[in-house]
């Protein structure tokens, strides 16, 4: 489903596209648009011209595509394969801290072979959202010479594809992962030690996500501590990390520079986008988000962080 647009792609995002059935203590929502690429592209497209790389099945309805088109990101890299779209279902427990996966149906995602359109390959920014490290490597191989590459991962790949994951880590500028994943991957309880070990494996930056406790950016030259925006209510935490990372790299790509200041501002922007996302299911909140609401929360949040 290629679309022609004049402006060059500044940011390529590869990840999963799926239909999520999510239960929270309050509500159940079936077959909502989800997946790491959906959340990350939706967030990034607020800031920069973004191209999505992923796969859906022939059952992927026009309604879902219309949601993507509403965000305005490029879909030339989204493959449509005969079969069913990836599906995931899970339940969040009482305090929203823990989620249990009820079912995972890989469907067409099982055979996913990312293939980048020609005009994606020269993009300066690349986000390898959470998919198998072997696929992340395949995408890296297709890129010309990206200026800044971010990779996300998850426990599953630490357990099942560690060698490939380490190859990915060696080739990216920034690795992002959850607090518990950082501990699991390094065997270090204290985050600063975990980050130092990970920095030794190659990346110039390690971005550790701590959910409602914020995020920390560890770089060879320093550390940036970022609390989370304090929310009144979390309706659905699904996609928080992906919208955070998508907003982060989208903001970086929009600015074009990767200085320490740009990275810090991008973390603030990513936090704000993620804080909106969890206020509703699926991409519902981001679909309605206005520039005015976003700017107001950025200003409010900056004030909460000022010493």
Binding site for a copy of itself (CB under 8 A): 95, 189-193, 210, 213-214, 216, 222-228, 230-234, 264-265, 268, 302-307
Q: Report, in Å, the least distance between residue 139 CB and a copy of itself.
A: 32
Rounded to a whole number of angstroms, the minimum distance from the CB of residue 235 to a copy of itself is 12
Q: In the complex, what is the shortest distance from the CB of residue 278 to a copy of itself, in angstroms, rounded to a whole number?
A: 12
- Least separation, in Å, of the C-beta of 189 and a copy of itself? 6
> What tokens does 14 get?
């590869």
CA pair distance 100, 227, nearest whole angstrom = 26
In sequence order, what are the beta bridge partners of 55?
79
Q: How many Cβ atoms sit within 10 Å of the Cβ of residue 23?
A: 18
Our CB check for a copy of itself shows the closer of 58 and 223 to be 223
Nearer of residues 1 and 234 to a copy of itself, judged by Cβ: 234
**Which residue, 176, 174, 196, 194, is CA-closest to 185?**
194
Q: How far is the CB of 190 from a copy of itself (least distance, A)?
A: 6
**Among 193, 211, 266, residue whose Cα is nearest residue 98:** 211
For residue 59, the SS3 value is coil
Q: Which is nearer to a copy of itself, 96 or 106 (CB)?
A: 96
The answer to whether residues 228 and 278 touch, using CB atoms and an 8 Å cutoff, is no
Supply the minimum distance, in Å, between the C-beta of residue 275 and a copy of itself: 12
* Rounded Cα distance, 41 and 286, in Å: 11
| Distance (Å, whole) CA 58 – CA 41 | 21
Q: How far apart are CA 247 and CA 41, in angstroms?
A: 8
Question: Would you say 32 or 226 has its CB closer to a copy of itself?
Answer: 226
Instruction: State the DSSP string of 61-105.
Output: -HHHHHHHHHHT-EEEEEEEESSPPPEEEEEE-TTSS-EEEEEEE
Residues 88, 119: Cα–Cα separation, whole Å: 31
Residue 89, φ and ψ in degrees, nearest 5: -135, 145
| Inter-helix orientation angle 133-142/162-171, to 10° | 30
Q: How far is the CB of 161 from a copy of itself (least distance, A)?
A: 27
* Cβ nearer to a copy of itself, comparing 6 with 222: 222
């Amino acid at each position: 489903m290629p679309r022609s647009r004049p402006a060059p792609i500044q940011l390529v995002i590869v990840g999963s596209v799926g239909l999520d059935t999510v239960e929270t203590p309050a509500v159940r929502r079936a077959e909502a648009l989800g997946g790491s690429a959906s959340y990350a592209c939706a967030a990034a497209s607020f800031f920069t011209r973004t191209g999505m790389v992923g796969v859906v099945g022939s059952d992927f309805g026009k309604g879902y595509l219309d949601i993507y088109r509403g965000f305005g990101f490029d879909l030339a890299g989204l493959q449509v394969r005969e079969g069913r779209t990836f599906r995931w279902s899970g339940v969040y427990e009482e305090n929203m801290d823990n989620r249990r996966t009820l079912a995972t149906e890989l469907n067409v995602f099982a055979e996913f072979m990312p293939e980048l359109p020609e005009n994606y390959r020269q993009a300066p920014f690349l986000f390898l959202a959470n998919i198998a490290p072997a696929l992340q490597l395949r995408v890296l191989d297709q890129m010309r010479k990206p200026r800044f590459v971010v990779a996300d991962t998850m426990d599953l790949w630490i357990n099942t594809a560690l060698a490939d994951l380490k190859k990915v880590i060696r080739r990216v500028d920034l690795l992002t992962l959850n607090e518990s994943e950082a501990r699991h991957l390094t065997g270090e309880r204290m985050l600063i030690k975990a980050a130092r070990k990970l920095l030794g494996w190659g990346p110039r930056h390690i971005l550790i996500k701590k959910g409602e406790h914020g995020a920390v950016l560890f770089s060879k030259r320093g550390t940036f501590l970022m609390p989370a925006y304090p929310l009144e209510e979390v309706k659905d935490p699904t996609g928080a990390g992906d919208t955070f990372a998508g907003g982060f790299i989208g903001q970086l790509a929009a600015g074009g520079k990767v200085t320490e200041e740009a990275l810090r501002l991008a973390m603030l922007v990513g936090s704000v986008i993620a804080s909106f996302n969890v206020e509703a299911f699926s991409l519902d909140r981001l679909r309605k988000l206005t520039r005015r609401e976003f700017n107001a929360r950025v200003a409010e949040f900056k004030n909460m962080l000022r010493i």
